[in-house]
Structure 1
Amino acid sequence: MLTAIERFLREFHMPPTRFGRECARDPRLVFDLRLGRQPGDRVKRRIEHFMNTYRRSMSQ
Structure 2
Amino acid sequence: MSLLWDIERYLRRTGVAATTFGRRAVNDPRLVLDMRRGREPGPRVRARVEAIIKARKQ
Identity of aligned residues (%): 45
Structure number with the bigger relative contact order (C-alpha 8 A, sep ≥ 6) is: 2
**Alignment partners' CA distance in 1, 2:32 and 2:57:** 18
Q: CA RMSD in A?
A: 0.9
Q: What is the TM-score normalised by the length of structure 1?
A: 0.87
Using the size of structure 2 for normalisation, the TM-score is 0.90
- The aligned length equals 56
Cα deviation digits, residues 2-60 of structure 1 (max 9, x gap):
0000000000011000000001110000000000000001110000011122333xxxx
Q: Structure 2 regions of 5+ residues with no counterpart? A: none
